[in-house]
Amino acid sequence: MNSTRRTFLETSIAAGMAAGIAAPLAFAVEPKAKLPVAGITTTYGPNNHADVIFTKIVSGYEHDGGPGPDLKLTSLFVEQEHPRDLSRGLSEKHGFRLARSIDEALTLGSDDLAVSGVLIVGEHGNYPNDPVTGQKMYPRRRLFDEVVKTFKRVGKVVPVFNDKHLSYNWPDAEHMAKTAREMKFPFMAGSSLPVAWRLPPLVLERECQIEEALAIGYSSLESYGFHAVEVLQCMVERRRGGETGVRRIEVVKRDAIWAAQKAGRWSRELFDAALATTPEEKKGEPEKLLDSRAAFYLIEYRDGLRATVAMANGVTRNSSFAAKLKGQPKPVATWFAVQNEAPFGHFGYLLKAIEQMVRTGRPAYPVERTLLTTGIINAAMKSYATSQPIETPYLDIAYQPADWPSAPGKPS
């Protein structure tokens, strides 16, 4: 990114924050030629991830025909037809091709790539659950491998984005990251939460000294738990030395949550600080409000950092973060705010990150973040299922953070 564009981004974001408004186009300098992309998805229905990503490409950030990303959805492969399918109507209206295979989506039936990027959205649909962890077995690796098969057939590659975590299991996730590295194509993945609004605005300085950290999440322990893990990781990766990987994960539930707190294994001070940033929480003591779905993920990093993901069901329906920084008497904390109804504007900021990669060939942030968070959530689900800690020597993943901005202002 050149210095002029970087200055514009920083100025736009600062202005948006000062004004306290959401600015869907704050990242755009000027309209550019739209780059063609192929969409690969499991199913496409109202308000699912295909809708909040692909509909923004064809119908604008607000889904109303207004401005959108400088991308053009050339083709779309849909594996399962949703009962309220949107793909057919949008194809007829906007002229993108409904492909019968992933190869066709990438090549439009030719022997060459017809797109500048590929977006894989393997979320939602009728798929079985893993018998051990209970995780939905979305076929993200299979979809990815079909994309790679086409790359090899035509002898070309383009950037690839994978929505949410890489897979429901570690070997598949490792395979995907390794394949992208070996074939030298840009690869990015992850949650929309790291680019969502932060209230109050909080960006930890690079090389900060974090003594302990905690992220709060809610709802289902795996699919929403992954968002909470990404909230944690996008913050703690900025600590001194950068990311080093994770050594051990243990999930505690019910009375063990409070026993762990009394034993000093997670910080009530950080929990209270994170919770205080979020609005409209239930009144009362968390000890009495946490319900049977609550679980806390106790994470030990390889460099000694201790962190917690508190899935605080019964207490909150918000995501937030807090950390104790060396030399500061009080925790720093922020709420990761999202737009909880259509058009789910935080996904617009995810699309800006995707567009950056498609246009420049440089991921907005490293895929190693999501490789690590994929491994964390998989180990957490194993620990939850077995009530045993999980040693994770394979999560020896080191990387440095990127400085991609989160959404300015606040959600409308």
Q: Which two tokens stand for residue 383?
A: 């620990």
| Percentages of the chain per state (helix, strand, coil), in multiples of 5 | 35, 20, 45
H-assigned helices in 24-74: 49-59
For residue 32, the model assigns a pLDDT of: 78
pLDDT at res. 280: 72
Q: Which residues pair with 77 in a beta bridge?
A: 40, 99
The H or E element containing residue 374 is helix 367-386
Q: Please name the residues in contact with 275: beta carbons below 8 A apart, sequence gap of 6 or more.
A: 216, 281, 286, 312, 315, 316, 320
Contact 79, 72 (CB under 8 A): no
Query: Which residues of 14-55 form beta strands (DSSP E)?
Result: 35-41
pLDDT at 31: 62
Task: Report the alpha-carbon angle 383-384-388, nearest 5.
Answer: 40
Both tokens of 121, joined, read 């959205």
Q: Give backbone dihedrals phi and psi of 51, rounded to 5 degrees, phi first.
A: -65, -50
What are φ and ψ of residue 171, in 5° steps? -55, -40
Q: Please state at what angle helix 170-183 crosses helix 140-154, rounded to 10 degrees.
A: 20
List, as one string, the DSSP characters of 69-93: -SEEEEEEEESS--TT--HHHHHHH
Predicted confidence at residue 79, as pLDDT, reads 98
Residue 263 CB-half CA count within 13 A: 9
Residue 15: the pLDDT is 34
Segments in the chain below pLDDT 70: 1-31
Rounded (10°) CA dihedral 146, 35, 357, 155: 40
Report the run of H or E that residue 117 belongs to, with start and end. Answer: strand 117-121
Residue 74: its pLDDT value, please?
A: 98
Give the amino acid at 224: Y
Query: Can you tell me the distance from the alpha carbon of 298 to that of 174, in angstroms, rounded to the nearest whole number?
Result: 23
Task: Report the SS3 class of residue 247.
Answer: strand
Query: DSSP code of 146?
Result: H
pTM for this predicted structure: 0.92
The CA-CA-CA angle for residues 135, 147, 365, to 5°, reads 70
Q: Would you list the DSSP string of 172-241?
A: HHHHHHHHHHHHT--EEEE-SGGGSEEES---PPTTB-EEEEEEEE-SSTTHHHHHHHHHHHHHHTTBTT
- Domains with residue ranges and CATH for the chain: 31-190 (3.40.50.720), 197-338+375-391 (3.30.360)
The pLDDT value recorded for residue 412 is: 82
Q: What is the pLDDT of residue 327?
A: 96
